[in-house]
Copies of this chain bind each other. A is one copy, B any other.
Amino acid sequence: MEHLINIKSLSTDDINKICNRASEFEKGIRRSNHINRHIANMFFENSTRTKLSFEMAENRISANKYNFDAGTSSINKGEDIYDTINNLSAIGINAVVLRHESNTLINELKEKTYYNTISFVNAGSGSSAHPTQALLDYYTIKKHFLDLKDKIIAITGDIVHSRVAKSNIELLKKFNAKIRCIAPIQFQDETLEGIDYYEDINKGFENADIVMALRIQRERIAEKIDFDEYINNYQITKDNLPYNALLMHPGPVNKDIEIKSDVLSMQNAKTILKQAENGVYIRMAILDMILSSYGI
């Protein structure tokens, strides 16, 4: 594995290998030492948790980390980033963890860098992909279900703008899960194949094994949709959440928007912090596999 750009490029075998390595890190039966490897975390969108999760993973595999925040570095957006990446490569950076508002920039960067080998890990690209989130969600699910075949997974919220939804759908289809998307018409994405849409949350949640909530961007939703109407029709509550369903959320939760506060203290919601924990093992596995491809 040289890059992790999206879920599409991974086979089910690749995905299981990543999860196996993550599990070895979780159990403490694998240790890695990449003291001579150097990873740049380039976050052009604000992030606390994903960035911390990558930093934690980098420290735990003993790689060197370098943080570039959009605000405080002089990195120019747009065309100049190609030069910046070639420079990072020349200076000795082995891998770039990139979060950027562009759907496609990471692919273009991968094609156009030429100095030394440099690996890219997608930490969130526009509304198109967030592959490490989908992998950690899968790793979390696999602790509860041996096989995803015919399991019903209900994804709820702003599907069309959600990179989390896109990557999860891509992954879950590979394992033949039954995917339902519960969303008002404005939040549906017609280009997605192999999923069923529900506008009625109760029908969508019927017999669901897993409910995946998405983060609603408060600041964006105001322009597009009646806020109260969304809450009335699509908020996850004690009443509509299936009794045994795992409740998942990529965090941070907007309490009383996509999920009613009192749901968060239910047993079903215990998964949410497990997702955060598991993210570290998944990212350790990915970075370890990428850096190991250089040899020592």
Docked CA distance A69–B67 (Å)? 12
Give 1 or 0 for each of A14-52: 1 = CB within 8 Å of chain B CB: 000000000000000000000000101000001111001
CB-nearest residue of chain B to A252: B83
CB-nearest residue of chain B to A62: B35
Q: Give the contact stretch, choosing among A72-80, A141-149, A188-196.
A: A72-80
The answer to whether A66 has its CB under 8 Å from any CB of chain B is yes
Docked CA distance A284–B93 (Å)? 16
CB-nearest residue of chain B to A75: B48
**Chain B residues within an 8 Å CB radius of A80:** 252
A277 and B69 contact, CB distance less than 8 A: no
Residues 59-109 (chain A) with a chain B CB within 8 angstroms: 59-60, 64, 66, 68-69, 71-76, 80, 83-84, 86-93
Give 1 or 0 for each of A197-208: 1 = CB within 8 Å of chain B CB: 000000000000
Q: A46-B74, A251-B83 are in contact. Are A277 and B90 (CB under 8 A)?
A: yes
Docked CA distance A222–B273 (Å)? 47
The answer to whether A246 has its CB under 8 Å from any CB of chain B is no
**Chain B residues within an 8 Å CB radius of A88:** 52
Q: Nearest Cβ in chain B — how far from A139, in angstroms?
A: 14
The answer to whether A56 has its CB under 8 Å from any CB of chain B is yes
Docked CA distance A49–B91 (Å)? 8
A69 and B66 contact, CB distance less than 8 A: no
B86 and A252 contact, CB distance less than 8 A: no
B276 and A87 contact, CB distance less than 8 A: yes
Q: Nearest Cβ in chain B — how far from A100, in angstroms?
A: 15
**Chain B residues within an 8 Å CB radius of A253:** 83
A46 and B71 contact, CB distance less than 8 A: no
CB-nearest residue of chain B to A276: B90
**Chain B residues within an 8 Å CB radius of A56:** 38, 64, 66, 91-93
The answer to whether A131 has its CB under 8 Å from any CB of chain B is no
B87 and A251 contact, CB distance less than 8 A: yes
A115 and B273 contact, CB distance less than 8 A: yes
Residues 247-286 (chain A) with a chain B CB within 8 angstroms: 251-253, 273-274, 276-277, 279-280
Query: Could you write out 16 A-B pairs with CB less than 8 Å apart?
Result: A46-B72, A46-B73, A47-B74, A48-B75, A48-B84, A49-B84, A53-B91, A55-B66, A56-B64, A56-B92, A71-B71, A76-B252, A84-B252, A86-B273, A89-B273, A90-B273
- What is the interface of chain A, defined by CB distance below 8 A to chain B? 38, 40, 46-49, 52-53, 55-56, 59-60, 64, 66, 68-69, 71-76, 80, 83-84, 86-93, 115, 251-253, 273-274, 276-277, 279-280
